[in-house]
Amino acid sequence: MENLLLIIGLAAVIILTALVGWRFWQRRQAKQQSKVIDMKAAEASDGTVVAQQPQPDGEHGSSWVPGFIRHHPILVTVVVLLAVLALGSWLQTNPSAFADMQAWLLRSNTNELTVVVVPFDDGNDGQTGRNIGEELAQTLDASRDPRMVVTFVDQRPANEAEVLALAEANRADVLIWGSVPSGETLNRPTLQPRLVYAPNGVYAPNALAGYRGRFAMPMHLQLTQSPVNGAVVLPPLMSMLTNYH
């Protein structure tokens, strides 16, 4: 949540600075315009040319929004800051919403490899599988690879159809799922990971199975027949996939 508070603080500072700068520019423009009398000529019915009085700003058909902001800068600033703080408070109490928003913003760079990790099936109450999934997502994210965006989605799929639906819903290039014995940890050879590989990047069509000119992999893949150490095996594999994304 430290990142969230930092983002909120920076957003508030940027918005406040922009409003103050805009207000200063408006005042400067108003001072310059006040030195010029905008007189327009018009012809009367008897043929005499007379000068018309300049119209007030409100009569030029401009929107009321800029005028409201110009005349109530403090009120607008307070409202904007309160809105930013309210959004930050809501995101802080809804971590999943913050994760979804963060993932959506990061996915705006379409050529990043988006990796989604879900809870593993532990054959029990799901706590071990959830812990393994969260730890794996943190391990992958700790690689600090700017080409890879990692998200943990707390939904355990029951079959390949649900896995594919999750991948599509989260626009994942790679979705990691699988099974692990209850009570185990990530850094032991106990994980049986499976992948859904459905790239969405710029070169996505070139990464589909059957395309010989580029690395290709099946959409559904079981990595091993025997358990592996997920903390050792999966990070370099994801790093390799970013090279071909």
pLDDT band at 48 (very low <50, low <70, confident <90, very high): low
Looking at the structure, tell me whether residues 11 and 116 fall in a common domain: no
Convert the pLDDT of each residue in 106-130 to its tens digit: 554 456 889 999 999 999 999 999 9
Mapped to the 3 state alphabet, what secondary structure does 114-142 carry?
Answer: EEEECCCECCCCCHHHHHHHHHHHHHHHC
pLDDT band at 135 (very low <50, low <70, confident <90, very high): very high
Residue 136 lies in a domain: yes
Residue 40 lies in a domain: no
Residue 45 lies in a domain: no
Q: Domain span at residue 146?
A: 100-243
| Residue 207 · residue 216 · CB < 8 Å | yes
pLDDT at 128: 95
pLDDT at 79: 77
Which of these three, 63, 90, 117, is where a domain ends?
Answer: 90
Residue 35 lies in a domain: no
Looking at the structure, tell me whether residues 181 and 203 fall in a common domain: yes
Mapped to the 3 state alphabet, what secondary structure does the chain carry?
Answer: CHHHHHHHHHHHHHHHHHHHHHHHHHHHHHHHHHCCCCCEEEECCCCCEEEECCCCHHHHCCCHHHHHHHHCHHHHHHHHHHHHHHHHHHHHHCHHHHHHHHHHHHCCCCCCEEEEECCCECCCCCHHHHHHHHHHHHHHHCCCCCCEEEEECCCCCCCHHHHHHHHHHCCCCEEEEEECCCCCCCCCCCEEEEEEECCCCCCHHHHCCCCCCCCCCCCEEECCCCCECHHHHHHHHHHHHHHCC
Looking at the structure, tell me whether residues 106 and 84 fall in a common domain: no
Which of these three, 90, 113, 144, is where a domain ends?
Answer: 90
Looking at the structure, tell me whether residues 116 and 83 fall in a common domain: no
Closest to 220 measured CA to CA, from 180, 167, 184: 167
Most confident of 36-45, 88-97, 163-172: 163-172
Convert the pLDDT of each residue in 190-226 to its tens digit: 999 999 988 775 545 544 555 544 456 677 888 888 9
Looking at the structure, tell me whether residues 150 and 203 fall in a common domain: yes
Looking at the structure, tell me whether residues 4 and 106 fall in a common domain: no
Residue 37 lies in a domain: no
Looking at the structure, tell me whether residues 202 and 123 fall in a common domain: yes
Buried b (16+ CB within 10 A) or exposed e, 214-226: eeeeeeeeebeee
Residues 6+ apart with CB under 8 A from 143: 235, 238, 239
pLDDT at 59: 45
Residue 48 lies in a domain: no
Beta pairing partners, 12: none
Which of these three, 71, 90, 109, is where a domain ends?
Answer: 90
**How many structural domains compose the chain?**
2
Looking at the structure, tell me whether residues 148 and 170 fall in a common domain: yes
Looking at the structure, tell me whether residues 142 and 108 fall in a common domain: yes
Residue 38 lies in a domain: no
Looking at the structure, tell me whether residues 109 and 170 fall in a common domain: yes
pLDDT at 6: 56
Closest to 151 measured CA to CA, from 125, 129, 185, 175: 175
Residue 95 lies in a domain: no
- Residue 36 confidence (pLDDT) above 60: no
pLDDT at 52: 56
Looking at the structure, tell me whether residues 64 and 133 fall in a common domain: no
Looking at the structure, tell me whether residues 105 and 218 fall in a common domain: yes
CATH number at residue 171: 3.40.50
Convert the pLDDT of each residue in 56-110 to its tens digit: 544 444 455 566 666 667 777 777 777 777 777 776 777 666 666 655 555 544 5
